[in-house]
Amino acid sequence: MNILEINNLNVSYGSKQVIKNLSMNIEKNKITAVIGPSGCGKSTLLTTLNLMIAENGGSFTGEILFKGKDILSYEIDYLRRMIGIVFQKPTPFPFSIYKNLTYAPKYYGIKDKNRLNEIVENTLKRVGLYDEINKDLNMLATKLSGGQQQRLCIGRALTVEPEILLLDEPCSALDRKNTANIEEMLLELSKDYTIVVVTHNLSQAKRISDYTAFILDGELIEYDTTENVFNNPKDDRTREYIKGIYG
Amino acid sequence: MREKLKDSVFKIWIGLSTSLVFIVVVYIFLYIFINGAGSINGEFLFSAPKGMPIGSEGGIFPAIVGSLLLMVIACAFASILAISTAIYLVFYCTSEKVKRLIHLIIQCMSGVPSIILGLFGYTLLVLHLGFGRSLISGGITLGVMIFPYIQVRVEKTLIEVDKAVITSSYALGVSKVYTLFKLIFPMCKFDIVSAITLAGGFAIGAAAPVILTAAVIFAPVPESIFSPVMALPFHLYILTGEGISLEKAYGTALVLMLILLVINIISVILNFTRKEHE
């Protein structure tokens, strides 16, 4: 089932067109990787999907359907709640770990202490931080290591119970061990969530994704199962890109 | 060789400048301390001025209270407006033209001489609005004076908040207002309070704006915001200007300086706490 359907999407910042006539569908509860060289529009694509693009001064034409309905027909808050996004650089709020995780639930009206505690506990377990930090919930989140911060941010996005999780190069600032942790976590999360991950790291895309989209200069060049894209690319440009990185 | 010479001359120059400023500050403080410490006692701090002419005996209690109240009103009035303006400029205003215009106005405001602000307050508040010479007239006038000071610092603080953190908050589907109150303010609270405290110090030491709007030679501790008040800088001005009592003048100056010192120390502590938190 397609949770997102993108039809003839054009995105531009002022007069600069970043995404050109892109159409693709995102399947539910799968991991879709978006690859391509720097500046090709991968991140722009992600920020368009939950309308964060407007905060950055961009605009788009075309149609994006979330569960069969135009994303513009949803309340923007609701849409962003359903389609969470995590950025490249970990952005923990400079509060305690506990407060980071209760920030959004409190906004959505959850006041009950027990319920909040439960959310914090479940979230930490989900992102694999529970054993590491459940004793230090009052510690400043900014004092965590980079990998822990990123997992906390993913957890924070999960506290509002989204259906889709967009990740913009979530591991690019992390070392190998932390990257492995996060990859393992994403595989686990994909059972309950749809994940779209933008990555520079081709082997990462290969390791974790079910589908891969290759974007070049704002155009979707190839989109297929990860296996096909990596082992049997139809387009020469895809082949060159994949080879180029390996070679 | 030449470069080395330049280097050492420059070092001597900055060393001398720094020590000169330091010496002047310490000298002023010590001088006032030595001359004023003698007149400070319980009676001076906690009783009203007495004697003929008034002020030659007794204390400065109503002036201390008056000055503190003026400062509180000024800070409350100015910070509400200044913080709102800063939030508007940083988070809501999308037109560069409007932003530039507002910045220009604020810059002009900060350049208005304080005696002119005093005259403005006198015309508008004391006469037209009929508040009379009162705590409220003086407080608002001082508020207008410190408004640009607070606005500029708060705006700078808000701009410095990491954009990525704010975006992450919006990305959770959380509203702008919630983000402001639950994320941005808590992040900036020390800076904002420190800006207000410093501005308060600036307000409490100003004589010109209150001469026409609030301060009188003698008044008891004010009963309402429409009562005239005594203020430390104005009292000091009267004591020396009329040659009433040099000894009391030194005492008053010392009290004023100590209040300012406390305010500045509070501000430094707040700044320090903020750094600890980061």
The reply to whether B50 falls in a domain is no
Q: For position A246, what pLDDT does the model report?
A: 46
Q: For position B278, what pLDDT does the model report?
A: 57
B139 and B31 belong to one structural domain: no
Shortest Cα–Cα distance, A206 to chain B (Å) = 28
pLDDT digits (tens, 9 = 90+) for A31-52: 999 998 888 888 899 999 988 8
Does the CB of A142 have a partner CB in chain B at under 8 Å? yes
By the 10 Å C-beta count (0-12 exposed, 13-18 middle, 19+ buried), A9 is classed as: buried
Residues in a beta bridge with A215: A220
- The contact set of B with A (CB < 8 A) is 162, 164-165, 167-175, 178, 182-183, 186-187, 277-278
B16 and B152 belong to one structural domain: no
CB contact under 8 Å between A157 and B183, yes or no, is: no
Does the CB of A95 have a partner CB in chain B at under 8 Å? yes
The reply to whether B148 falls in a domain is yes
B78 and B19 belong to one structural domain: no
pLDDT tens across the length of chain B (278 residues): 788 899 999 999 999 999 999 999 999 999 999 999 888 888 889 888 888 888 788 889 999 999 999 999 999 999 999 999 999 999 999 899 999 999 999 999 999 999 999 999 999 999 999 999 999 999 999 999 999 999 999 999 999 999 889 989 999 989 999 999 999 999 999 899 999 999 999 999 999 999 999 988 888 888 888 999 999 999 999 999 888 888 889 999 999 999 999 999 988 888 787 766 65
The reply to whether B53 falls in a domain is no
CB contact under 8 Å between B174 and A104, yes or no, is: yes
B8 and B90 belong to one structural domain: no
CB contact under 8 Å between B169 and A93, yes or no, is: yes
CB contact under 8 Å between B172 and A160, yes or no, is: yes
The reply to whether B70 falls in a domain is yes
- Which residues lie below 8 Å from residue B98, measured CB to CB, with a gap of 6+? none
B126 and B254 belong to one structural domain: yes
- Structurally, how many domains does chain B consist of? 2
Give me the domain span that covers residue B22: 2-39
CATH of the domain at B100: 1.10.3720.10
**pLDDT per 10-residue tile (average), chain A, 247 residues:** 91 90 92 89 90 86 92 91 91 93 92 92 90 86 90 93 92 85 90 92 90 92 92 89 66
Shortest Cα–Cα distance, B171 to chain A (Å) = 6
Q: For position A247, what pLDDT does the model report?
A: 35
Q: d(Cα A130, Cα A148) in Å, to the nearest integer? A: 11
Among A77, A93, A140, whose Cβ lies nearest the Cβ of B165?
A: A93
Tokens of B146: 């410190």
B12 and B112 belong to one structural domain: no
Contacts of B187 in chain A (CB under 8 A): 93-94
B72 and B115 belong to one structural domain: yes
B7 and B121 belong to one structural domain: no
B84 and B165 belong to one structural domain: yes
The residue among B204, B231, B209 whose CA lies nearest residue B121 is B209
- Does CATH place domain A2-246 in 3.40.50.300? yes
B28 and B73 belong to one structural domain: no
- ipTM reported for the complex, 2 dp: 0.86
Tokens of A149: 């911060």
Tokens of B256: 């004023």
CB contact under 8 Å between A103 and B170, yes or no, is: no
Give me the residue spans of the domains in chain A.
2-246
Shortest Cα–Cα distance, A47 to chain B (Å) = 9
B8 and B93 belong to one structural domain: no
